[in-house]
């Protein structure tokens, strides 16, 4: 069984291109402090995908840092897809920036793969209008054609991998191209550095050792389609429909319906133990126009991903398709489904979706209160309770990722002078000046050698009645940054238990006592 | 393949197999030691819960650690004084904690309402009295989104009674241990917790160690033996 012959069109750096930045200006799109796409000019200066924002700015100081806007990416990609739709009806979008379709019909009609590629290039380039590049490749199977768009030759001319030669084409490529970092890491350590050497293994062994995910990767490496051809045809009742009354002309109305439909569809699929890898989004307008578009996902589409794609598509249609009337009916059809066993990681999937929800709400709160108003904690080394935790803006971390600095073992170095656990439950954001007196009423001082002038007996806080000290321990001296006169701090801390049963951590610095924390 | 039509499951069995969400399925777990204080042995999603008294925040951390588990998220709104090192000692996962600055008075309820959308627990300590209208709206939101609104001030600023309020009290025989006059360090504290609220039939009380020497929540070993038990734990960190 050979894979479906597929043409893939890829617009590199689409997240940057969609912002309308000319390719010769350095620009980078940054998500959670990491570069996810950059313009060729920025790449020339040493900016690379995966770098931290600061690193990118260090390499190329005048790089324009842009936010990611998936809605905009999808909306501006729509004209390209509509152009391709004049050539073939079976266009499927993977992500904004990449689109593919089976070439069997169109190639025959237009006179071969080469002629089809030229035709695609000729029709797409005017739409792009020099704002971005387009790379085109034809090969057996979506995976091979996707990789073929990444080869050097694809920059200028379309690449056509001859029929049956895809496995040979793939064999030379490194296993990293599978885009499964954990798997390719293991393969490399086993000495399997190319897709060819991985494909040479017996499928049975691969399934036994790497499970379903390994099996899928193995099929790809061997130049076959990701899913075996015995895809179950979904029963027609799995598709879900929303009738708009009155017809919707605004994207927010459509987006609301899309979200509800996506949830419903996902629920149906879930109940049947299925996962959707390709969805058809279908809209009918009041005047009878009929629009249909396929969206593919390399894994399985989650409810959030379904809703997102439906929203992008409707946004694109409403903006670009010059509809004569509003959308009257929206249908989501699970076009290609697979048994959900491969994604039995429900646990992980669920977690990713959870993190997406959290990220969305965090973004909303940042919108309401400002970017630095939402913080997440991380461990830092330090003596005082307030120094052991650092707060960093939630916008610079990826909440869905494992964050090492939030784990207990992050700070390994001992901190002499650290107050032993348990830590205080309340750490005052602004320490409060207090008075600490010895039994004869003199203020307690700590000498340069870390000795108390007298036993602390009374603690008074502002206008509150002074409390007598029942027990105390310390001082824990902390002589910090003694090498730097500007930031040097000499402090000493005491734990005190007052007669009302409350326990506190108090600090003396420059002869003044502060209430630093309360063991609440 | 199977012919599901022909299998003819008895209707009674189908009904029993049908998915059904019971109230107890929507309960967030709490530490075993505390479960006698909770009417369903845990916090029902959608509730408003308050903690008050001397050990309120430690108690909150102990509850979150269990209720959130590995996957739950907590948002803390407008409580800059929270001691997160202590939270981590109680077992709260810091990568599931998000802190929000104190919002301007006019935006407080909008911010809390947004947070209830996604977080399992939203912890608040309002600086001003909450209006009954906002309170109703937020309670409804919490129920709808199955989130828990957690009052770190014991519900003082809330216009109506909470579903459950836990008050910590330091009694004569309990309190902090480990600290001497110029030696030792704070090690553990015995408190008693009273649970009152709309959802509890009658007030319930319980004595616990909050925290114990490991910084966690624990049951009081034997009634009355708290003070008598030796507290001399050699500590290299003491001066």
The CATH number for B60's domain is: 3.40.50.300
Is A15:A37 a contact under the CB 8 Å cutoff?
yes
pLDDT for residue A229 is more than 70:
no
pLDDT at A214: 85
A252 and A321, same structural domain? yes
Q: Quickly tell me which residue has 């003819």 as its tokens.
A: B8
pLDDT at A232: 54
pLDDT for residue A481 is more than 50:
yes
- Give the span between the Cα atoms of A59 and A42, in whole angstroms: 9
Tens of pLDDT, residues A94-139: 888 899 998 888 888 998 889 999 999 899 888 888 788 889 999 9
User: Using CB atoms, which residue from B58, B99, B184 is nearest to A425?
Assistant: B58
Contacts of A354 in chain B (CB under 8 A): 71, 73, 118
- Give the span between the Cα atoms of B115 and A169, in whole angstroms: 51
DSSP B239: -
Top-confidence residue, B20 or B214: B214
Query: Residue A243 contacts by C-beta under 8 Å, 6 or more apart in sequence?
Result: A328, A329
- The burial of A451, by beta-carbon neighbours within 10 Å (0-12 exposed, 13-18 middle, 19 or more buried), is given as exposed
- Residue B19 included in any domain: no
Q: Is the peptide bond before A475 cis (omega within 30 degrees of 0)?
A: yes
Range of the domain at B132: 29-219
- Give the span between the Cα atoms of A310 and A253, in whole angstroms: 12
Contact B55 A502 (CB under 8 A): no
pLDDT for residue A389 is more than 70:
yes
Contacts of B121 in chain A (CB under 8 A): none
A483 and A444, same structural domain? yes
DSSP B185-207: EEEEEEEEEEEESTT-SS-EEEE
Contact A360 B81 (CB under 8 A): no
- Give the span between the Cα atoms of A372 and B3, in whole angstroms: 59
- Residue B226 included in any domain: no
- Give the span between the Cα atoms of B237 and A419, in whole angstroms: 7
Contacts of B217 in chain A (CB under 8 A): none
- Residue B235 included in any domain: no
- Residue A41 included in any domain: no
Q: How far is A195 from chain B (nearest CA, A)?
A: 36
- Residue B96 included in any domain: yes
Is B44:B229 a contact under the CB 8 Å cutoff?
no
Q: Band of the pLDDT at A44, cuts 50, 70, 90?
A: confident
Torsion over CA: A439, A441, A446, A447 (sign) = negative
A436 and A400, same structural domain? no
Q: Band of the pLDDT at A235, cuts 50, 70, 90?
A: low
Tens of pLDDT, residues A167-213: 888 888 888 888 888 888 888 888 989 999 999 999 888 888 888 78
- Residue A321 included in any domain: yes
Top-confidence residue, A156 or B186: B186
Contacts of A402 in chain B (CB under 8 A): 95
Maximum CA extent, chain B? 82
Is A56:A28 a contact under the CB 8 Å cutoff?
yes
**ipTM value for the complex:** 0.81
pLDDT at B13: 62
- Give the span between the Cα atoms of A199 and A211, in whole angstroms: 15
- Residue A274 included in any domain: yes
pLDDT for residue B61 is more than 90:
yes
- Residue B130 included in any domain: yes
- Residue A486 included in any domain: yes
Range of the domain at A506: 426-518
DSSP B153: T
Range with lowest mean pLDDT among A341-350, B62-71, B172-181: A341-350
- Residue B239 included in any domain: no
pLDDT for residue A142 is more than 50:
yes
CATH assignment at residue A293: 3.30.1490.100
- Residue A154 included in any domain: no
A306 and A254, same structural domain? yes
Average pLDDT over residues A144-153: 84
A288 and A259, same structural domain? yes
A514 and A464, same structural domain? yes
- Residue A244 included in any domain: yes
Task: Provide the pairing of β-strand B27-29 with A389-393.
Answer: unpaired
A272 and A240, same structural domain? yes
Task: Provide the pairing of β-strand B48-53 with B164-169.
Answer: parallel
Q: Band of the pLDDT at A348, cuts 50, 70, 90?
A: very low
- Residue A216 included in any domain: no
Contacts of B211 in chain A (CB under 8 A): 422
Percentage with pLDDT > 70 across chain A: 94
pLDDT for residue B22 is more than 60:
no
What residue in B sits closest to A386 (Cα-Cα)? B83
Per the structure, the count of domains in chain B is 1
Range with lowest mean pLDDT among A222-226, A239-243, B120-124, B184-188: A222-226
pLDDT at B8: 58
Per the structure, the count of domains in chain A is 3
When scoring A235, A394, A425 by the number of chain B Cβ atoms within 10 A, the one with the most, hence best to mutate, is: A425
Ramachandran assignment for A518, one of left (phi > 0), alpha (psi -120 to 50 degrees), beta (any other): beta
- Residue B210 included in any domain: yes
pLDDT at B211: 86
User: Using CB atoms, which residue from A357, A364, A472 is nearest to B181?
Assistant: A472
Q: How far is CA B131 from CA A119, B108, B157, in A?
A: 66, 11, 9
Top-confidence residue, A458 or B233: A458
pLDDT at A484: 79
Contact A473 B238 (CB under 8 A): yes
pLDDT for residue B224 is more than 50:
no
Tell me how many residue pairs between chain A and chain B have CB atoms under 8 A apart.
170
pLDDT at A227: 65
- Give the span between the Cα atoms of B109 and A223, in whole angstroms: 56
Range with lowest mean pLDDT among A9-13, A173-177, A393-397, A512-516: A393-397
């Amino acid at each position: 069984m050979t894979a479906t012959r597929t043409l893939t069109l890829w617009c590199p750096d689409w997240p940057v291109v969609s912002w309308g930045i000319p390719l010769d200006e350095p620009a980078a799109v940054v998500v959670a402090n990491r570069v996810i796409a950059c313009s060729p000019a920025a790449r020339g200066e040493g900016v690379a995908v995966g770098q931290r924002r600061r690193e990118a700015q260090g390499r190329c100081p005048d790089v324009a840092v842009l936010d990611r806007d998936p809605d905009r990416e999808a909306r501006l990609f729509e004209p390209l897809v509509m152009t391709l739709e004049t050539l073939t009806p079976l266009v499927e979008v993977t992500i904004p920036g990449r689109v593919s379709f089976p070439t069997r019909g169109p190639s025959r009609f237009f006179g071969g793969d080469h002629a089809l590629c030229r035709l695609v290039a000729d029709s797409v380039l005017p739409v792009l209008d020099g704002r971005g590049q387009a790379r085109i490749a034809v090969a057996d199977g979506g995976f091979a054609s996707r990789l073929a768009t990444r080869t050097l030759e694809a920059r200028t001319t379309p690449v056509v991998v001859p029929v049956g030669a895809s496995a040979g084409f793939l064999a030379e490529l490194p296993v990293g191209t599978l885009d499964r970092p954990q798997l390719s890491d293991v393969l490399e350590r086993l000495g399997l550095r190319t897709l060819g050497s991985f494909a040479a293994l017996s499928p049975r062994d691969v399934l036994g050792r790497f499970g379903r995910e390994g099996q899928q990767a193995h099929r790809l490496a061997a130049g076959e389609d990701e899913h075996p051809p015995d895809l179950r045809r979904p029963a027609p009742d799995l598709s879900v429909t929303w009738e708009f009354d009155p017809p919707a002309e605004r994207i927010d109305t459509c987006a609301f319906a899309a979200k509800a439909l996506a949830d419903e569809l996902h629920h149906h699929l879930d109940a049947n133990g299925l996962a959707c890898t390709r969805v058809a989004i279908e809209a009918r307008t009041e005047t009878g126009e009929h629009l249909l578009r396929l969206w593919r996902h390399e894994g399985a589409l989650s409810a959030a991903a379904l809703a997102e794609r439906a929203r992008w598509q409707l946004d694109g249609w409403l903006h670009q398709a010059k509809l004569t009337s509003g959308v009257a009916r929206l249908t989501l059809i699970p076009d290609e489904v697979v048994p959900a066993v491969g994604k039995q990681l429900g646990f992980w999937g669920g977690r990713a979706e959870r993190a997406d929800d959290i990220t969305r709400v965090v973004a909303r709160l940042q919108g309401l209160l400002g970017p630095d108003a939402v913080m997440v904690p991380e461990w830092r080394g330090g003596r005082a309770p307030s120094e052991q935790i650092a707060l960093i803006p939630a916008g610079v971390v990826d909440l869905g990722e494992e964050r090492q600095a939030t784990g207990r073992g992050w700070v390994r170095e001992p901190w002499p002078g650290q107050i032993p656990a348990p830590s205080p439950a309340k750490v005052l954001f602004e320490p409060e000046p207090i008075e600490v007196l010895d039994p004869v009423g003199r203020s307690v001082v700590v000498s340069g050698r870390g000795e108390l002038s007298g036993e602390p007996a009374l603690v008074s806080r502002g206008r509150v009645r002074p409390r007598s000290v029942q027990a105390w321990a310390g001082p824990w001296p902390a002589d910090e940054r003694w090498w730097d006169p500007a930031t040097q701090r000499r402090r000493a801390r005491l734990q005190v238990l007052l007669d009302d049963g409350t326990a506190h951590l108090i600090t003396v610095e420059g002869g003044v006592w502060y209430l630093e924390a309360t063991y609440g | 393949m199977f012919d599901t039509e022909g299998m003819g499951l008895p209707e009674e069995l189908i009904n029993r197999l049908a998915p059904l969400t019971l109230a107890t399925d929507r309960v967030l777990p709490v530490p075993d030691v505390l479960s006698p204080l909770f009417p369903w042995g845990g916090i029902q999603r959608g509730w408003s819960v308050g903690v008050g008294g001397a050990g309120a925040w430690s108690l909150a951390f102990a509850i979150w650690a269990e209720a959130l588990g590995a996957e739950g998220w907590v948002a803390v709104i407008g409580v800059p004084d929270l001691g997160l090192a202590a939270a981590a000692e109680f077992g709260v996962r810091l990568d599931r904690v998000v802190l929000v600055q104190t919002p301007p008075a006019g935006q407080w309820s909008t911010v809390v309402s947004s947070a209830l959308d996604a977080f399992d627990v939203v912890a608040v300590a309002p600086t001003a009295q909450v209006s009954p209208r906002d309170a109703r709206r937020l309670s409804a939101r919490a129920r709808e989104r199955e989130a828990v609104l957690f009052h770190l001030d014991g519900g003082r600023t809330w216009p109506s009674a909470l579903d459950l309020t836990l008050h910590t009290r330091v009694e004569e025989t309990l309190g902090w241990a480990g600290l001497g006059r110029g030696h030792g360090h704070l090690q553990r504290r015995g408190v008693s917790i009273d649970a009152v609220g709309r959802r509890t039939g009658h007030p319930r009380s319980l004595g616990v160690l909050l925290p114990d020497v490991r910084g966690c929540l624990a049951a009081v070993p034997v009634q009355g033996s708290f003070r008598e038990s030796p507290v001399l734990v050699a500590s290299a960190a003491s001066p």
